[in-house]
Structures are given as C-alpha cells and as structure tokens.
Amino acid sequence: MATIGLDKLYYAKITEDASGMETYDTPVQLAKAITAELSVELAEAILYADDGASEIVKEFKTGTLSLGVDDIGSQAASDLTGAVIDTNKVLISSSEDGGLPVAIGFRAKKSNGNYRYFWLYRVKFGIPATNLKTKGDSITFSTPTIEGTIMRRNKADAEGRHPWKAEVTEGDEGVAPEVITGWYTSVYEPVFTPVAP
C-alpha cells in the first residue's frame, strides 16, 4: 500500500563496548521530517555451472539515507556530525569533525491511515547541506539536507545475523500493540521465538 506521509524522525546515540557491540541511548527527536530517501547497495555473486547461473547470492553491502528536515538544532548537529558546541552555545564545525554513528527511526503514513515504522541501526552522517536564497517576490523555504551511510550493526541478533534495518506496519496480523506504542521509547531489538526441536 502506498505511503502518503513522513514524520516522527528520531535518533539514538550509540555506545560501543571494547568489542564494538552497540547499545543505544534513549531516542530523541531529530527534527521535523520533510523527506527521507533510502537507497541500498547489494553485494552480488553468481556461480555459473553447466552453461548457466547455478547459484545467485545477494547481500546487503551498504546504503545511503538522505534526510530533508525543517531544521537541525545545535545538539542534533553535534551528535550527528561531531561538531562541538562552545561555551557561548555556538556550534563550531572543524576539519577534524567526524561524527559517530547513530540509529535513525521514523514512520511513514499509509493511505489506509496506519503507519509503517522504521529503525536504521547504524548511520554515519556527513556535514548537512545548506541552501540559502535571498527573498524575492515570493516566499521560498530553504531547509537543510543531511546524508548518511547506512551500515549493518556489529551486534548480532539472537539468530547470529547483523541487522541494518527494522520495519513494521501498524495493523498487520500478529503485530503486538506494544511494539508500535514502544517504537520510540528505545531502539527496537529483534525478538525470535526458539523453534522446538
């Protein structure tokens, strides 16, 4: 079903232990979302046998997330890009900046009124693009865009895999209401029921 909206854009800072395993801080709102463009790059291998493709493997390699937002506040800019806030509360960007990865969550409204919810587990952002224009005969809004690289997380889930995205649709069969109501209280952790032998 088609989506007709985008809102509730959140991020959660990541803390890594000595082995690189992630834990997530409590999510906080990043900004008001205007656009979210997600593209994925796959690693692909084809095994040819008997004059044809015998096996094909496609795996997630990396992705790109481009966010159009109404404004990026100083604290969010600092958390996402590594810029620092000085004593006078001025955001200082330097050539040495390099933000740490964060988790990004958002939701998209579907045409039936339900929402599709997302968490991207590990996104490393670059410097936001700023487009400014002088005011002319009509009013034109100028809003920032920030682009990040999506990576798989280091911490494996209960099945030994390294997720890069969690996605759920409100109202789908079997989706517990607490999954939806708790989506922004913490970054979603995959849950798997063990299969009886």
- Note the pLDDT tens digit of each residue in 60-85: 888 888 888 888 888 888 888 888 88
Q: Indicate the residue type of 119.
A: W
CB 59 within 8 A of CB 110: no
Task: Give the span between the Cα atoms of 44 and 59, in whole angstroms.
Answer: 7
Two structure tokens written together for 55: 């096996």
pLDDT confidence band for 165 (50 / 70 / 90): very high
CB 15 within 8 A of CB 25: yes
pLDDT confidence band for 94 (50 / 70 / 90): confident
Stated pTM of the model: 0.82
Read off the DSSP letter of residue 127.
Answer: P
pLDDT confidence band for 139 (50 / 70 / 90): low
pLDDT on residue 1: 53
DSSP assignment of 113-124: S-EEEEEEEEEE
* Mean pLDDT, the chain, whole residue set: 85
